Chains A and B, each alone.
Chain A
């Protein structure tokens, strides 16, 4: 089976202006959503308490609300369904720090008489830990991007590195916009998904860049935009296939992975789509925008090879001289 049989280059760069416009609109829209609606931070980052309760049948949410009202510990608590109608989550912004008085036990007592239930999960994250986790999370995103920037600059060239990192910023921004729009709760797992997305999207970009690098070194004087078109066309099968196989599994995680993994799978699902798009339509046009000159690069490479050959020759001479 073959998806893309054509050997003729598709005119991706001709469409790059439209793609840039689409990307700009998506990014602006994402930041607008983030600025107005904001992110829905879960307990991991905002601090607070989560109590997950599973009932034998449909959870009597109204009755639960009534019961919890009697205890001031539950002031401002919200009760929502979690995955199915018999499972609910009680969320509170407050935390209890006493080791021996446990909010799980208090809840178990308070809910007596509402039916058959089991408290399956209690998460308490104190405010200090929450802000620490947030700080660490942001640091990890930045560190990962810087690490990637350095590696790509070392393996390719600084303009390649900048283009790929801008594409990453593009991906993360739009993914965050989607997370905000869908009111996905941002916890540690979403952070993990964002970091995976970084690695994944970069994979795609690097495969394309590798092809561009290859065509620069192999072919003489053709125009750079055409080189890019050819490289993208040649890698198009691979880009689509890998995105597909990864999408398969992320989709199964999204559908069957259970409520706990839902936010993680959602972030990846959006991220893979955006990441695939950006490696074709964002990263490569940026190379042209940054004024990358294939001829200069060829000359530089040629000089480097020459220098190395010279060194090799001198070393050989030196060694034979010693002998």
Chain B
């Protein structure tokens, strides 16, 4: 049956797969290429769309120090409660040293500390020293890092940017990526929101001694169990407050922006039941005294307590703008950072530079593409046209696969696509040269095509696999934008197997009869033989 025979010739499996991959390529690259509303699109990297990339470090050892500090506070509380007379109480970043007046009390401290997990207590006469074991130190540091990630993520989620990235990198680093930051002001706001410790403390003013605060040194203050804090607006104004706070932000349940009678913004906060209880008791006990509202070590206000305050709510007033108040409320709601963070790496790209980069690489892509395509046609004639069809299909596939997986296109990634244009035609060059060689030897067209492909196959595979090895290493060890290069090169190589090898072979199979009939090797393959 000749009709069926010719049908079979036309629909070889290679051309079917090639056609399907082109359909796949067009379908999935369309949303990215035509910027359609729906469908998965390629994400542009921060270097192309503009944005902020930061690698943050966490000073986790400071979380250990504050842990030690809180142990010191609880020892002091315990001593007061149980009437244990403490001669001196000192702490540094490693341990707390308590000297007791009566050395027989040491075992009471020991029993008390045994309830606190991870502490090592050693007694030497009346001197008790308390430190943390290695596990506890590691746990505290780890908690500081994971809590920082959680907190920063919470804050940025409320900031209003689309899809902020907050991820852990390595053991102790935090990667923050913010796309679509449009102005320097936005960037500054974001950075302040990230770095703000947002540690709220309500502290009792030491009314007996605060009058002398200006002549007092920090060591003097420490000897009374006090600290000296500055006013947020005027550093000249100093307050002497009790070092151990009445309450801290961990008991806060909500914070939101409100306005006072002069229509100035302020922040209202609400405490949980436990906090409300402590707050009520303290205010009831301290009528006539002042309570300092301290945020990140600065006094925002120190109002007089006129009566017992129940209900557990309060205000932080200060001279800030509505926007600042809003960010502050976000930071307070998301919780405080246990340890300070610092910048290890920062890359910020303005949107206009990103647009310039896209334009420059598009020019390079189009320029390179036109040159390669023209060259292939001049040199190989129809064989060149066939190679060019495969090249276009290859580019479509790269974009389609990247869109489908939501991969990020970076500037080096663009360079990778441009380079793929040059390298993808390589397979077709190898194949065409093999076919030419066989035609010169005078073999039949069918044999020249089939053997040309099979001879070329081994070399193409070996060459592609070695390039893939380099690309995979680049992906595994590259950071950020360079990873994008490895991705596009790898996809380009894999796609070329489908387009440049399988696809073009399929096209030749369809055209074989025609080529055989015409016998015009110059037209088909660009040679005279």
Chain A interface (Cβ < 8 Å from any Cβ of B) = 1-2, 7, 52, 54, 95-100, 102, 104-105, 108, 118-126, 128-129, 133, 136-137, 139-140, 143-144, 147-148, 151-152, 155, 188-189, 191-192, 195-196, 198-200, 202-203, 206-207, 210-211, 214, 234-235, 237-238, 241-242, 244-250, 252-253, 256-258, 260-261, 264-265, 268
Q: Mask for B317-358, Cβ within 8 A of A = 1, else 0? A: 000000000000000000000000111111111101100110
In the complex, which residues of chain A have a beta carbon less than 8 angstroms from the beta carbon of B341? 99
Which of B364, B455, B468 contacts A252 (CB under 8 A)?
B364
User: Quick one: which of B172-199 are within 8 Å of A by CB?
Assistant: 184, 187-188, 191-192, 194-196
A210 smallest CB distance to B (angstroms): 4
Q: B462 contacts the other chain (Cβ, under 8 Å)?
A: yes
Would A249 and B364 count as touching, CB distance under 8 A?
A: yes
Would A252 and B478 count as touching, CB distance under 8 A?
A: no
Q: B378 contacts the other chain (Cβ, under 8 Å)?
A: yes
In the complex, which residues of chain B have a beta carbon less than 8 angstroms from the beta carbon of A203? 423, 426, 463, 466-467
Would A122 and B346 count as touching, CB distance under 8 A?
A: yes
Measured CB to CB, the nearest residue on chain A to B484 is A192
Which of B57, B346, B368, B472 contacts A248 (CB under 8 A)?
B368
Q: Mask for B421-434, Cβ within 8 A of A = 1, else 0? A: 11101100110010
Would A249 and B357 count as touching, CB distance under 8 A?
A: no
Q: How many residues belonging to B are interface residues under a CB distance threshold of 8 Å?
A: 83
Among B66-74, B260-268, B412-420, the stretch in contact with A: B412-420
Would A253 and B415 count as touching, CB distance under 8 A?
A: yes
Subset of 11 A-B contacts with CB under 8 Å: A2-B526, A7-B440, A97-B57, A122-B348, A143-B477, A203-B467, A238-B426, A245-B422, A245-B425, A257-B418, A265-B415
In the complex, which residues of chain B have a beta carbon less than 8 angstroms from the beta carbon of A202? 463, 466-467, 470
In the complex, which residues of chain A have a beta carbon less than 8 angstroms from the beta carbon of B353? 52, 54, 120-121
Would B357 and A260 count as touching, CB distance under 8 A?
A: yes
Would B466 and A207 count as touching, CB distance under 8 A?
A: no
Query: Known: A241-B379, A253-B418, A261-B361. Contact between A248 and B372, CB under 8 A?
Result: yes
Would B433 and A137 count as touching, CB distance under 8 A?
A: no
Q: B222 contacts the other chain (Cβ, under 8 Å)?
A: no
Q: B375 contacts the other chain (Cβ, under 8 Å)?
A: yes
- Chain B interface main SS type: helix
A155 smallest CB distance to B (angstroms): 6
The 7 closest A-B pairs by CB, nearest first: A249-B368, A99-B195, A258-B360, A246-B422, A199-B467, A140-B477, A199-B470
- Chain A interface main SS type: helix
In the complex, which residues of chain B have a beta carbon less than 8 angstroms from the beta carbon of A126? 57, 343-345
A55 smallest CB distance to B (angstroms): 13
Measured CB to CB, the nearest residue on chain B to A155 is B462
Measured CB to CB, the nearest residue on chain A to B345 is A129
Q: B138 contacts the other chain (Cβ, under 8 Å)?
A: no
Would A206 and B482 count as touching, CB distance under 8 A?
A: no
Q: Whole-angstrom distance between the alpha carbons of A96 and B346 in the complex?
A: 10
B67 smallest CB distance to A (angstroms): 23
8 more contacts with CB within 8 A, not counting A108-B184, A126-B344, are A97-B344, A102-B191, A105-B184, A188-B481, A202-B470, A244-B375, A245-B376, A260-B357
In the complex, which residues of chain A have a beta carbon less than 8 angstroms from the beta carbon of B385? none
Would A192 and B478 count as touching, CB distance under 8 A?
A: yes
Q: B216 contacts the other chain (Cβ, under 8 Å)?
A: no
Would A245 and B429 count as touching, CB distance under 8 A?
A: yes
Would B352 and A210 count as touching, CB distance under 8 A?
A: no
Q: B3 contacts the other chain (Cβ, under 8 Å)?
A: no
In the complex, which residues of chain A have a beta carbon less than 8 angstroms from the beta carbon of B433? 235, 237-238, 241
Query: Known: A241-B379, A245-B422. Contact between A147 and B469, CB under 8 A?
Result: yes
Q: Mask for B355-371, Cβ within 8 A of A = 1, else 0? A: 01100110110011101
Which of B194, B458, B470, B482 contacts A99 (CB under 8 A)?
B194
Q: B471 contacts the other chain (Cβ, under 8 Å)?
A: yes
Query: Known: A2-B527, A238-B433. Contact between A100 and B184, CB under 8 A?
Result: no
B361 smallest CB distance to A (angstroms): 6
In the complex, which residues of chain B have a beta carbon less than 8 angstroms from the beta carbon of A99? 54, 56, 191-192, 194-195, 341-343
A86 smallest CB distance to B (angstroms): 12
Would A261 and B411 count as touching, CB distance under 8 A?
A: yes
Measured CB to CB, the nearest residue on chain A to B185 is A105
B177 smallest CB distance to A (angstroms): 14
Would A104 and B473 count as touching, CB distance under 8 A?
A: no
Would A124 and B477 count as touching, CB distance under 8 A?
A: no
Q: Whole-angstrom distance between the alpha carbons of A207 and B55 in the complex?
A: 43
Q: B479 contacts the other chain (Cβ, under 8 Å)?
A: yes
B421 smallest CB distance to A (angstroms): 5
Would A252 and B371 count as touching, CB distance under 8 A?
A: yes
Would A1 and B379 count as touching, CB distance under 8 A?
A: yes
Would A242 and B361 count as touching, CB distance under 8 A?
A: no
Measured CB to CB, the nearest residue on chain B to A272 is B422
Query: Known: A188-B479, A188-B481, A252-B367. Contact between A144 and B379, CB under 8 A?
Result: no
Q: Whole-angstrom distance between the alpha carbons of A185 and B369 in the complex?
A: 28
In the complex, which residues of chain B have a beta carbon less than 8 angstroms from the beta carbon of A214? 455
Would B471 and A199 count as touching, CB distance under 8 A?
A: yes
Query: Known: A123-B346, A123-B347. Contact between A258 and B368, CB under 8 A?
Result: no
